[in-house]
Amino acid sequence: MSSTRLEQIKDEALKAFGSAANSRELYDLKVKYLGKQGLLTDIMKEMAALPKEEKPLFGKKVNEVKAGLEAAYTQAEEALRKKEIEERLAKEELDLTLPGARRLRGGPHPVAVVTDEIARIMSRLGYALRTGPQIEKDYYNFEALNIPANHPARDMADTFFVDDTHVLRTHTSPIQIHSLESENLPLRVIGTGPVYRCDSDISHLPNFHQIEALCVDKKVSMADLKGTISFFVREFFGAGLKTRFRPSFFPFTEPSAEVDCNCPICKGKGCSLCKQSGWIEIGGCGLVNPKVFEHAKIDPKKWQGFAFGFGIERMAIIKYGIPDIRLFPENDVRFLRPFAGE
């Protein structure tokens, strides 16, 4: 009786192993027939009911069946694994010619690139880099720079007021005052960073960047100023470009001038950027007004100085022919990428 049952289990198991659809199913079958609570274990229990002399033979038979089923299982498992791998290979395609997943790298913003470049050029003339607060006391942004109350430069139309005595700095010139107050003379510094004005169109942003130089020494003249700016222009925009001064007015310099240089795009021949004039305005400059020295408790009879200030975005626009200042804060990677050195 038990022997017949054993044969039955064997045939059934072999058939089942051979027709399992996948490894998971096959494993379940292994548990069913060969597991601790499987059918072979059950049948071993039946041995107790057999006459004593039949027990060894039956035990041997069960072990043979067990070994046979284990071998059949291993074989079936191997075959299924192969089949499954082949199916995956046929289904999944690996196209080695596809471009890899490129990691997007960050890079310096053009404003940072141009600031660094200007700072590097000026450092060769001994200028050290300074920053300063962006929320500035009225005194530093205006008063100490000889821009008195009621001066048009304080107009509500341009200045973002924070409270009665603070503004978002409208220029980097207050950095000059911080340096004059806290540093030893003689002095060569450049001040740079964001500035804010209530202004926005194709060539103005409410938040843009400036860079400003201040040189203070015993004897400083317009010739030193012109020499320094000429050097800067040739280093930054290109060899051979000329610089010219036009008389102007700034409360914190006397005399004051606007600085033009030969248009770096057409090299002075005339093009659309310079409106056919060959010249392009790059910023303001002048000799430090004695009143500024007095505010900083420096004796204007002992010390002289010059200063000049440029807009960073404007420098980049002129150098690289950028059509619209609004590209700077837009964060379009097509615009930013070439500046990041890629």
Helix axes 110-123, 312-320, angle to 10 degrees: 100
Shortest spacing between CB 105 and ligand DAH, in angstroms: 35
> Site mask, ligand DAH, residues 70-99, x = CB under 6 A?
------------------------------
179 binds ligand DAH (CB under 6 A): no
Evaluate the CA torsion angle 123, 326, 251, 181 in order and state its sign.
negative
Q: Do 118 and 315 touch, CB atoms closer than 8 A?
A: yes
The SS3 assignment for 101 reads coil
Shortest spacing between CB 191 and ligand DAH, in angstroms: 9
Q: Which of 16, 284, 295, 312 binds ligand DAH (CB under 6 A)?
A: 284
289 binds ligand DAH (CB under 6 A): no
Closest residue to ligand DAH in the complex (CB)? 309
Shortest spacing between CB 255 and ligand DAH, in angstroms: 10
Which residue number, 62 or 259, has a Cβ lying nearer to ligand DAH? 259
d(Cα 297, Cα 54) in Å, to the nearest integer?
120
DSSP-derived letter for residue 204 is B
Which residue number, 222 or 340, has a Cβ lying nearer to ligand DAH? 222
Q: Which residues contact 17 (CB under 8 A, 6 or more apart)?
A: 26, 29, 69, 72, 73, 76
> Site mask, ligand DAH, residues 197-236, x = CB under 6 A?
---------------x------------------------
Shortest spacing between CB 336 and ligand DAH, in angstroms: 26
Which residue number, 193 or 284, has a Cβ lying nearer to ligand DAH? 284
Specify which residues 130 forms β-bridges with.
191
Which residue number, 25 or 199, has a Cβ lying nearer to ligand DAH? 199
308 binds ligand DAH (CB under 6 A): yes
Residues in the chain: 342
d(Cα 110, Cα 327) in Å, to the nearest integer?
10
Closest to 186 (Cα-Cα) out of 219, 231, 160, 229:
219
Closest to 307 (Cα-Cα) out of 187, 144, 193:
187
Binding segment for ligand DAH (CB under 6 A), chosen from 37-45, 235-243, 261-269, 307-315, is: 307-315
Count of alpha carbons within 13 angstroms of residue 163, beta-carbon side = 2
Q: Which of 115, 141, 159, 173 binds ligand DAH (CB under 6 A)?
A: 173
d(Cα 100, Cα 95) in Å, to the nearest integer?
11
Which residue number, 65 or 282, has a Cβ lying nearer to ligand DAH? 282
253 binds ligand DAH (CB under 6 A): yes
171 binds ligand DAH (CB under 6 A): yes
Q: Do 62 and 7 touch, CB atoms closer than 8 A?
A: no
Sites of contact with ligand DAH (CB under 6 A): 171, 173, 212, 250, 253, 284-286, 307-309
